[in-house]
Structure 1
């Protein structure tokens, strides 16, 4: 059985912005951290993080090939949703019967994404509410307002909490994780595609036509979420729009950053999950379906 994390080694799968943030904070607390990335890419031996308290550089180990990895007691999966095959390849080597896997990804169905390499009782779905922006391969800027991590109030979450608290990112535990996940998906499934399509930051939601479009999409997402068991009140749409209005000037989205950098877009696990859910519950979601087609075309990949 897993005990308290102490200063145990931690493997972080995915050296993107979120993965670098976890690696920097955990290594800064004395945990030996191994970053797991793609084969053939330049290794990362240090991570430099900056926040409102200053800048710090820590050392990390690097693995670019799953075949050379060994099991860890603690694994953080911070890949994008469309990198699921790569994450599972790493988990095949990194996870055994005693490994606790923290899935720090967008979307829903976190446990299913890492099956069968980790059982439900050893998986901690984690909603990331802090903002991380990567600069180069080894630098990350961390911004947060309130608790940066949300986990469920279950046995796995309670075992992982001591480790997550060491990140200093703030941990909030919720009894209804389904609702928390769909609240976050309402933001990600709408704000990400619309900022990426327009190549504009959050100020785009001040445009009346874009705001109306966003409100319609949010209502469709909320309807699917309710069908999936999320408790989303009628004012949930206005709550999300108010949250977007409160973002600092110049705030963007991860999908916008990926488009500007020429990277693959994380639309299928976000808006794609909504459209699939709508079809499964025989719900109409015409605007979300249309925007999904546009963002998929922009990414030059077929709609799921």
Structure 2
């Protein structure tokens, strides 16, 4: 249903994927005029329907497929895939000025680095997305969550982001130690995504004894790198990840598995690639993560790198 709500400040959402659609729809539903920024030439999206199992609602949005057609916004949400760096930068060049709050709702740990130099560090609010969103059509998204769906840092841009994201109703948690929170999430993503993509199996693959041994070794490496980066990861942090994966609903998969099945680029660089890069910076050996990264990078035949030699251990900007 469509209801009348107070009109709030405009928001630009870059990336009409599952997370972008979910955030755009929930912000529009609270009265924010939302401009959804998508790939040039893509069919426009003028409304988004979201469902969370209790409620289904349709809200209007404005579509823009041309970065040259937009002006700076006071609030911009970046929800593109990690490999869409070039397209994201094209939007940021037009959407961001020195007063813009840039909310980066992406995977990984390199949120601020990805939007530089278009936004200064003090303008950028990294956000960890914990809710699950599945886009079932260009304008239809299912939202599922268990607990707070978003995590922001306890700093000036994080507090500005929370004032905006609280209106989504997805539940926002402010973390005084965002570095640790980001590495805790990366421990799951850096293992679950590449292993499911390589095996073309859902999370049940972690029940295989050999896969479990490999995953435990990878987790130990990720935790060591995270601690070198300042994350406060106790010894039990490694032991908690696989039981958490085991507890996921039957048939649960991963975003990287879905991307592989659909023939899309894979987000390996911003996840496992970030671990290996940071390990090198600290002169840490991470042989299991390095080997799995090489294999999953070789899967990404949809990227330009399929025809161009590249080093998967250097930062990819695709």
- TM superposition score normalised by structure 1: 0.96
Task: Give the Cα–Cα distance (whole angstroms) in 2 for the partners of residues 70 and 240 of structure 1.
Answer: 43
Higher mean alpha-carbon deviation, 52-61 vs 121-130, is at 52-61
> What's 2:249 paired with?
248
Task: Give the Cα–Cα distance (whole angstroms) in 1 for the partners of residues 7 and 205 of structure 2.
Answer: 45
> What's 2:13 paired with?
12
User: Is residue 29 of structure 1 aligned with residue 36 of structure 2?
Assistant: no
Task: Give the Cα–Cα distance (whole angstroms) in 2 for the partners of residues 273 and 161 of structure 1.
Answer: 26
Contact 2:152–2:161 under 8 Å retained in 1? no
> What's 1:203 paired with?
204
Give the total of aligned pairs.
300
Task: Give the Cα–Cα distance (whole angstroms) in 2 for the partners of residues 125 and 192 of structure 1.
Answer: 21
SS of 2:174's partner is: strand
Task: Give the Cα–Cα distance (whole angstroms) in 2 for the partners of residues 217 and 6 of structure 1.
Answer: 48
Q: C-alpha displacement at 1:88, in angstroms? A: 1.5
> What's 1:40 paired with?
41
Task: Give the Cα–Cα distance (whole angstroms) in 2 for the partners of residues 129 and 80 of structure 1.
Answer: 15
Partner deviation per Cα, 1:144-167 (whole Å, 9 max, x = no partner)? 000000000011111221210000
SS of 1:269's partner is: coil
Task: Give the Cα–Cα distance (whole angstroms) in 1 for the partners of residues 282 and 156 of structure 2.
Answer: 31
Dislocated runs of 4+, deviation >6 Å: none
Partner deviation per Cα, 1:22-77 (whole Å, 9 max, x = no partner)? 01101111111110011111111111111121211111111111111111111000
> What's 1:62 paired with?
63
Task: Give the Cα–Cα distance (whole angstroms) in 2 for the partners of residues 203 and 270 of structure 1.
Answer: 21
Gaps of 5+ in 2: 1-5, 314-318
Task: Give the Cα–Cα distance (whole angstroms) in 1 for the partners of residues 132 and 260 of structure 2.
Answer: 17
SS of 1:108's partner is: coil
Task: Give the Cα–Cα distance (whole angstroms) in 2 for the partners of residues 22 and 205 of structure 1.
Answer: 31
Contact 2:82–2:106 under 8 Å retained in 1? yes
User: Is residue 146 of structure 1 aligned with residue 156 of structure 2?
Assistant: no
Contact 2:7–2:33 under 8 Å retained in 1? no
How does 1:245-284 map onto structure 2 within 5 Å? 245-284=246-285
SS of 1:121's partner is: helix
Q: C-alpha displacement at 1:235, in angstroms? A: 1.0
Partner deviation per Cα, 1:250-282 (whole Å, 9 max, x = no partner)? 111110111111111010010011111111111
Task: Give the Cα–Cα distance (whole angstroms) in 1 for the partners of residues 287 and 98 of structure 2.
Answer: 44
Task: Give the Cα–Cα distance (whole angstroms) in 2 for the partners of residues 225 and 166 of structure 1.
Answer: 32
> What's 1:294 paired with?
295
User: Is residue 119 of structure 1 aligned with residue 133 of structure 2?
Assistant: no
Q: C-alpha displacement at 1:206, in angstroms? A: 1.1
> What's 2:105 paired with?
104
Partner deviation per Cα, 1:101-130 (whole Å, 9 max, x = no partner)? 100000012112111111111111000000
Q: C-alpha displacement at 1:227, in angstroms? A: 0.8
Task: Give the Cα–Cα distance (whole angstroms) in 2 for the partners of residues 77 and 71 of structure 1.
Answer: 14
Task: Give the Cα–Cα distance (whole angstroms) in 1 for the partners of residues 134 and 286 of structure 2.
Answer: 32
Partner deviation per Cα, 1:178-232 (whole Å, 9 max, x = no partner)? 1111111111111000011111111111111111111111111111111111111
> What's 1:237 paired with?
238
SS of 1:194's partner is: helix
Task: Give the Cα–Cα distance (whole angstroms) in 2 for the partners of residues 6 and 147 of structure 1.
Answer: 26
Partner deviation per Cα, 1:72-93 (whole Å, 9 max, x = no partner)? 1110000111112211211111
Gaps of 5+ in 1: none
Task: Give the Cα–Cα distance (whole angstroms) in 1 for the partners of residues 151 and 195 of structure 2.
Answer: 25
Question: What is the RMSD of the two structures over their aligned residues, measured on CA atoms?
Answer: 1.2
